[in-house]
Amino acid sequence: MASSNKRKTTMAKMQRERGLAEKRLEKAARKAARQQAATHNEVGPNDHLTDEAGEPLSGQAAVDAAMRARAEIEGI
């Protein structure tokens, strides 16, 4: 005969499950962002910013270029 006691989920298990769900959502968001970037030919996170001469930017110049690129993407 089966037990009539209902097994309760522990708080630790609920926290693990919640953490996994959050990781899945973050992964799905990253995947969607990659796919959108691929369809729009945007600068990816691993692409290096360069100046007109083809030299890599460093310091504040790289930050300024990244901010301009983000503003263009967001349509600001």
pLDDT tens per residue, range 10-37: 999 999 999 999 999 999 999 998 888 8
Per the structure, the count of domains in the chain is 2
30 lies in some domain? yes
Q: What are phi and psi of 29, to 5 degrees?
A: -65, -40
Q: 27 and 50 share a domain?
A: no
Percent of the chain at pLDDT > 70 equals 62
Indicate the residue type of 60: Q
Q: 16 and 38 share a domain?
A: yes
Q: What is the mean pLDDT of residues 38-43?
A: 68
64 lies in some domain? yes
2 lies in some domain? no
69 lies in some domain? yes
Work out the mean pLDDT of the chain and round it to a whole number. Answer: 75
Q: Which domain holds residue 66?
A: 46-76
Q: 52 and 73 share a domain?
A: yes
| Cα separation, 58 vs 1, whole angstroms | 72
